Chain A
């Protein structure tokens, strides 16, 4: 009997970060365990990470490059696949220019350095990511406000935690410190939970603010109003480190608590209590989730919340929201050679003129991409390469996304399975899972750590994404390295490490310094926290943040409420799935077999819906079905629905992409997007809900 080898590595079933010990026997991973020595997860591991063996060795996993011939998939060699892609891309470049190729990815999963390098060296400015409405939008908005992304400093012992639209232990138990949060909370920190739905944390919280979905920016302005009125702000900080205080306070005065209560549905006394608790309990941190970003208020909401951290003196203070110091590796930007993309190429970025804050962080909005394909304006997109993304399921107005990708002349998809998006491709390239890659994990994030993700096994002919970009790039004459590991040596060089030594070390932590601004100010044009943004002013946007009503709500579109009386709060996360992933994993699907929509029992009674019924949820853009679950912890006017659903067990090429896909209901019209960054409203629209009947 051969021996079991234990390999220390790092998960990436979500964004990654949790430490893993993989047990390898006869070239196969037979088991994974949490790594008790991990500085991120301390031995815990979530259901997704624990299921990796069912993903890596799934019978439906595609293990070889595939080419679609007369509508049928055929196995081809890597060389054949890469040559075909290179030839096609070169034809498109010759005829239409490199900007006619869109390169896309899903959420940040540690390949952005390589993906962006490939795109930049190709010469296309059109990189389509989730960044416009998820995390990178937060990075961009804080970049122009205080120079960097402020993150909860759980290790610094916060005494008050504001959990704002987030449930880190359920939906993202990775480096964003689900375990660290829990430890800080168990030490006795006060907890303020802002959530339309009464979940585990709302129940535990000292204060729960049941907000009307999408009105977070108004609530944050209400907090500012209390802090200003009661003079709870840090006077020294405000005097020395805020740019635009007078203008900002004038803006805040417009948000008296009567008005904020009317907008947010949160009782004004409760808002006052919460704002006081946050402002006077020191130190205090705000842990924000994506619902604060996935609306037309994206940039402003982030800026207002950054303002809360600043005016209370919690910015870069121990236990507050800190600007992490990262290990001295090469950044994604340097590795990706962003600077090598010519000015002329940048000027052609789709939607770049309209969404200048988005262009600043080098991505495009999906609506701009779909329009360029479908209308060929301002110029046509002809070819695409999508890595680890399933936009047919995860992007707003999914039917449009589907039509656009179907029309694209030539599409390459990198994934593990034939997803509904992959089925629209011409070439499928099989990616390696995190068990099959060597990488400096989390280098793209700015959370103070990098971690060694070590290759444990190889499966079929799958390649790690990094190698795919590298080999395809080389085929097209781009400058890359001989091996994946050579590129990692380059990444690690400034830290005085190479891959082999780093692998043995396991991880590297940046040396944290607090209150950096006292020495060198903030990295903004004025050197201060710009509540009045000079960047936004220069680009022609409102330099001061505000709340703008949700584009489709009972307030903004009262004429729709007769047909669509409820507020759909879409995008509900569950612990077993990550966006559109994992529906084919038997262990996980057993726990959550069906898509769930939660409704208040009173609403259910009114609509004749019983627990467990299949129901239609309908918006002006279409209807899908999910299974009803009664929950008296949500407002009777609000309906909370899961996202990301398709049915891998349905074997036709659509794989049931339009049955329960909540993003069919969401709008992506330009007037519904955030004006500066192009964030799509993936969270809130009007809807009706009713039983499916006997069908």
Chain B
């Protein structure tokens, strides 16, 4: 199975927060966990999101092996296996790991895996007005990035 990647081009993020709401809606989340969020620093914006790291610190930190990486390279957490110890929140270098207070478990970006199965794009990427959220088959995606930068 081809690996999938998603990346925010920070330079083009203008802090509209549409991606955050699209994500909340897609995952049925209320106030609390923010699987993607955008921080403001003066005229700059910093999107905080899961990078689905190849060598993911969250996977390594989890004492219950509740976090795994699938064949597409998507790092997923099992809410059944999670014991809510928050080790993964501490381990994540991007502060992307979130905690669902209601469920008492950690929660994270699943790259809209159900949408991908239906051949649809991750929700956050569909609403961005500057197209700063790009995603795709990892190899083709990075080739396209190289070309656009050269």
Contact = CB atoms under 8 A, between A and B. Distances in A.
Interaction A to B: yes
Given A198-B42, A633-B43, A587 B14 contact: no
A178 B129 contact: yes
B143 to A, nearest CB: 21
Contact of B31 (A51, A182, A586, A632): A586
Contact of A182 (B17, B37, B129): B129
B42 A169 contact: no
A201 B45 CA distance: 12
A47 interface: yes
A50 B18 contact: yes
Contacts of A200: 14-15, 43, 45
B83 interface: no
Contacts of B18: 44-47, 50, 575
Contacts of B127: 34, 43-46, 50
Contacts of B6: none
Given A33-B126, A50-B127, A170-B16, A203 B21 contact: no
A681 interface: no
Interface stretch (B22-30, B50-58, B67-75, B106-114): B22-30
- Interface bin, chain A: 35 or more
A54 to B, nearest CB: 9
Residue with the highest number of chain A CB atoms closer than 10 Å, among B17, B20, B128:
B17
B2 interface: no
A529 B20 CA distance: 46
B14 A170 contact: yes
Contact of A202 (B21, B43, B45): B43
B115 to A, nearest CB: 11
A443 interface: no
A587 B43 contact: no
B45 A50 contact: no
B90 interface: no
Nearest to B44: A203
Contacts of B20: 47, 587, 591
Interface string B124-138: 001111100000000
A46 B129 contact: yes
Contacts of B30: 586-587
A33 B37 CA distance: 19
Contacts of A576: 17
Contacts of A589: 31
A633 B16 contact: no
A636 to B, nearest CB: 15
Residue with the highest number of chain A CB atoms closer than 10 Å, among B16, B26, B44, B126:
B16
A50 B25 contact: yes
Contacts of A173: 16, 129
A179 interface: yes
Given A44-B129, A46-B129, A632-B42, A575 B21 contact: no
A587 B31 CA distance: 6
Nearest to B130: A182
Contacts of B130: 169, 182
A575 B15 contact: yes
Contacts of A377: none
Given A587-B31, A590-B31, A43 B126 contact: yes
Nearest to A36: B126
A575 B126 contact: no
B109 to A, nearest CB: 17
A591 B16 CA distance: 10
Interface string A35-60: 00000000111110011010000000
B149 to A, nearest CB: 15
Nearest to B38: A591
A632 B26 CA distance: 37
Contacts of B43: 198-200, 202-203, 633
A631 interface: yes
Residue with the highest number of chain A CB atoms closer than 10 Å, among B34, B37, B42:
B42
Contacts of B14: 169-170, 200-201
A31 interface: yes
A169 B22 CA distance: 17
A360 B74 CA distance: 61
Contacts of A182: 129-130
Residue with the highest number of chain B CB atoms closer than 10 Å, among A34, A53, A202, A588:
A34
A386 to B, nearest CB: 29
Nearest to B19: A47
B129 A169 contact: yes
B10 to A, nearest CB: 12
B108 to A, nearest CB: 18
A179 B37 CA distance: 21
A600 to B, nearest CB: 11
Nearest to B16: A575
Nearest to A197: B43
Contacts of A588: 21
Contacts of B126: 33-34, 43-44
A387 to B, nearest CB: 27
A46 B42 contact: no
Interface in A11-50: 31-34, 43-47, 50
Contacts of B128: 44
Contacts of A586: 30-31
Interface of B: 14-18, 20-22, 24-26, 30-31, 34, 37, 42-45, 126-130
22 contacts: A31-B25, A33-B126, A43-B126, A44-B18, A45-B22, A46-B129, A47-B20, A47-B21, A50-B21, A50-B22, A169-B130, A173-B129, A178-B129, A179-B129, A199-B43, A200-B15, A200-B43, A203-B43, A575-B18, A586-B30, A587-B30, A591-B17
Given A44-B126, A50-B127, A588-B21, 12 more contacts: A31-B25, A34-B126, A43-B126, A47-B20, A173-B16, A200-B45, A203-B44, A575-B15, A575-B16, A575-B17, A575-B18, A586-B30
Interface of A: 31-34, 43-47, 50-51, 53, 169-170, 173, 178-179, 182, 198-203, 575-576, 586-591, 631-633
7 interchain residue pairs of minimum CB distance: A203-B43, A50-B21, A200-B14, A44-B129, A47-B21, A575-B16, A47-B17
